[in-house]
Structure 1
Amino acid sequence: MAVLLRSTFIPGRSPAQVLDFCLEGSNFPKIFPEPVTPLGEIDINDLRIAEGREFRFRHWMFGVIPANWKVVIREVGPSHFVDEMLKGPMRAFRHEHRVEAAEGGTLYTDRVTYQALGGAPLEWLLVNAYMRRIFQARHRNMLEMLA
Structure 2
Amino acid sequence: MPIIQIKMVIEAPIDRCFDLSRSIDLHKISTSQTGEEAIGGVTSGLIGLSETVTWRARHFGIRQTLTTKITEFESPNFFVDEMLEGAFKRFRHEHHFRDVDGKTEMRDCFDYDSPLGILGKVFDSIVLKRYMQNLLLKRNLVIKEYAESDRWQEVLNTKESGG
Q: Same fold (TM over 0.5)?
A: yes
Code of the residue aligned with 1:137 in structure 2: it is K
SS in structure 2 at match of 1:73: strand
Percent of aligned positions that are identical? 22
List aligned pairs for 1:62-73, cutoff 5 A.
Answer: 62=60, 64-73=61-70
Q: Is the 8 A contact 2:13 2:104 kept in 1?
A: yes
Indicate yes or no: 2:140 matched with 1:139.
yes
1:54-93 residue pairs with structure 2 within 5 A?
54-62=52-60, 64-78=61-75, 79-93=77-91
Structure 1 position 139, deviation (Å): 1.6
Shift of the 17–117 alpha-carbon distance from structure 1 to 2, 3 Å rule, reads same
Superposition RMSD on alpha carbons, in Å?
1.7
Shift of 1:41: 6.2
AA at the equivalent of 2:5? L
Find the aligned partners of 1:97 and 1:40 in 2 and give their Cα distance.
22
Structure 2, gaps ≥5 residues long: 149-163
Q: In 2, Cα distance between the equivalents of 1:98 and 1:31?
A: 19
Q: 1:53 matched to which residue of 2?
A: 51
Contact 2:19/2:46 (CA < 8 Å) preserved in 1? no
- Alpha-carbon displacement from aligned partner over 1:75-110 (angstroms, at most 9, x marks no partner): 110201100001101001111111101234101111
Read off the aligned partner of 1:92 and give its amino acid letter. Answer: R
Flag the 1:129–1:23 CA change in 2: closer, same or farther, 3 A: closer
- How many correspondences in the alignment? 143
Give the C-alpha shift of residue 59 in structure 1. 1.9
The normalised TM-score by structure 2 is: 0.80
The offset of 1:43, in angstroms, is 3.7
The TM-score, its normalising length taken from structure 1, stands at 0.88
Unaligned ranges ≥5, structure 1: none
Shift of 1:20: 1.8
Which structure shows the bigger proportion of residues in strand conformation? 1
